[in-house]
Homo-oligomer: A and B are copies of this chain.
């Protein structure tokens, strides 16, 4: 029996409405259609989607098997094609200060921190204004110090460098070279055999206060400059007041013990280079903005992007600034524009909401790690940790708990003279020897800022060691 006309009318009406809905969905309010960047975006998302079981990562520049997709690069104690297999008996690595504790933050903020680089981006050595640095990045850095309140930048100069490493070299070079040094050749000085002159005018002794990273010494002895010489511990220095032409490295907060050190050497000609890479709210309270003549920072320990090799120095004196800039130009013709662009993107995310999200994440991660470690070692008579007095933080506007980057562990037993060996042999944990910081080997440094996998294993191994200690005490 034929349907009444009204039935067809109703169907037609529905169908037409459906037409309109589809047309709307298809053509109205669609997202921007990507062109040249789409291919790269798909490629990056494809690689990011490769599963490594949360214990590793695949990278765009990772090794590929027969030109296929990149393979997973696994955390130290995981293996297998997808990093799903735990390698039992594998040593807990608490050695180098690889700042991977912040990696989860950047994965949580994937969209904001992603970056697209065009093939023609910044091909030139300089910008149109003949500058080697991104003025926009410098502006972001000044803004960051202002909101965090950890350094005075008003009326100061900012030098970019390939991480703090290059900037430390640049600073020593700038402070030790006098005006004529870059023009006069070392050969002349030596040929004339003016060794006394050399000692008086050229060779400036450089000091540190131990315990401290001995990397400074390695650097200076490696470059064998005629202008400076590494002399060792500043606290051993006699008649400090007479100190002339002295350079001192001050790491504050200090690596390894996290203390807010100040320069030891005073006097009219004593110059200090402040390594401030750990002076951020996730590692320490910020009591007041640092106001040193030369302050060195880097994204490695700030945002965790150690691989980018980007840092900066805040410098008071213009001639020192000029010399440091010249150093970076002659050493590497400025700093990679790709690293500068990456740093800009990353700092943009850090600055959002006045830095609260980012620093809360970093602080809470490190604070919890320190708490867990302290709780485990608190029941031990064999091992002790450095102490921190609670300090008011002007950034968080409260008194905060300690959250250091490193644990400076001491073996208390008389016989445990080599604390590194004790932890290695009895707990299968690798730290760094006290002697690497100019201290006794009764001390060992354990890095707490590494990946979650590394930290969890470290904790588990120490827990075991300490519970065995308790057992033996009970017996």
Contacts and interface: CB of A to CB of B under 8 A. Distances in A.
Contact of A19 (B15, B331, B332, B334): B15
A239 interface: no
Contacts of A115: 40, 60, 116-117, 119
A31 interface: yes
Interface in A153-207: 162-163, 165-166, 169, 173, 177, 181-187, 190-191, 193, 195-196, 198-199, 203, 205
A309 interface: yes
A367 interface: no
Interface string A288-304: 00000000000010001
Interface string A427-442: 0000000000000000
A300 to B, nearest CB: 8
A9 interface: yes
Interface stretch (A92-100, A256-264, A271-279, A392-400): A92-100
A283 interface: no
Nearest to A191: B199
B341 A61 contact: yes
A63 interface: yes
A468 to B, nearest CB: 31
Contact of A119 (B36, B113, B227, B331): B113
Nearest to A194: B195
A225 to B, nearest CB: 6
A346 interface: yes
Given A114-B119, A116-B116, A187-B203, A330 B36 contact: no
A464 interface: no
A326 to B, nearest CB: 8
B123 A307 contact: yes
Interface residues of A, number: 136
Interface string A120-142: 11111111110000111100000
Given A61-B137, A226-B224, A35 B25 contact: no
Interface of A: 2, 5, 8-9, 11-12, 15-16, 18-19, 22-23, 25-26, 31-32, 34-45, 48, 56-57, 59-64, 73-76, 96, 98-100, 102-103, 106-107, 109-129, 134-137, 162-163, 165-166, 169, 173, 177, 181-187, 190-191, 193, 195-196, 198-199, 203, 205, 218-219, 221-227, 229-231, 300, 304-310, 326-327, 330-342, 344-346, 349
20 contacts: A11-B12, A15-B19, A22-B23, A22-B26, A36-B48, A37-B116, A38-B41, A39-B111, A39-B114, A59-B122, A60-B344, A106-B119, A114-B119, A116-B117, A162-B331, A165-B333, A173-B223, A307-B338, A308-B337, A309-B336
